[in-house]
Amino acid sequence: MDIVIRAASVAEYEELGEITARAYLDDGLLDFNEDDFYLNVLRDVAGRAVSGEVLVADHDGTVLGGVTFASNTSPLADIAGPGEAEFRMLAVAREARGRGAGEALVRACMARAGALEGVTHLVLSTQRSMTGAHRIYERLGFTRTPERDWAPIPGLTLLTYRLEL
């Protein structure tokens, strides 16, 4: 499949927000389902685009998924420290999974991080149950950093990974 990774257009924000929300909802990743406070964050692509770079995976004009890339100075960076960049909210539409869109989005983040002056590592947080994503990260050379695992809310511990660029 020919997948192009590019900046999301304003016209695609609502669609990408829904793809991201559906990915989390359909995979059972939100404790309170439709009532989960994080659902609005996932849908707020316009808000993320103000402080980070929102990328989409596009196949023949169809948005397959997206990701948000943030430098360590971005308010979107949860765990990135000096010399690190971070990506968040990687999501691929269910019908597009297994076609390389997720990996292409991660590779785009790797390239962006590598192009930033002074950035030597790319980091991310992930839920324990996101095993498909973990396989992508590990295949691309990310290593687990359990000493950095953290809990944004009580009862939800996020696993962390780091890649040396």
Average of per-residue pLDDT across 106-119: 98
Per-residue confidence at 55, pLDDT binned at 50, 70, 90? very high
Average of per-residue pLDDT across 69-82: 96
Tokens standing for residue 92: 């691929």
Average of per-residue pLDDT across 5-11: 98
What pLDDT shows up at residue 34? 84
- Assess whether pLDDT exceeds 80 at residue 149: yes
- In angstroms, the CA 109 to CA 67 distance is 8
- Assess whether pLDDT exceeds 80 at residue 1: no
What pLDDT shows up at residue 30? 87
**Cβ–Cβ under 8 Å, residues 104 and 87:** no
Average of per-residue pLDDT across 148-153: 95
- Assess whether pLDDT exceeds 80 at residue 32: no
Which residues constitute the domain of residue 158?
4-164
Taking the model in full, what pTM does it have?
0.95
> Structurally, how many domains does the chain consist of?
1
Tell me the CATH number at 44: 3.40.630.30
Per-residue confidence at 97, pLDDT binned at 50, 70, 90? very high
How far is residue 26 from each of residues 22, 72, 91, 155, 159, measured CA to CA in Å?
6, 30, 11, 20, 20
- Assess whether pLDDT exceeds 90 at residue 3: yes
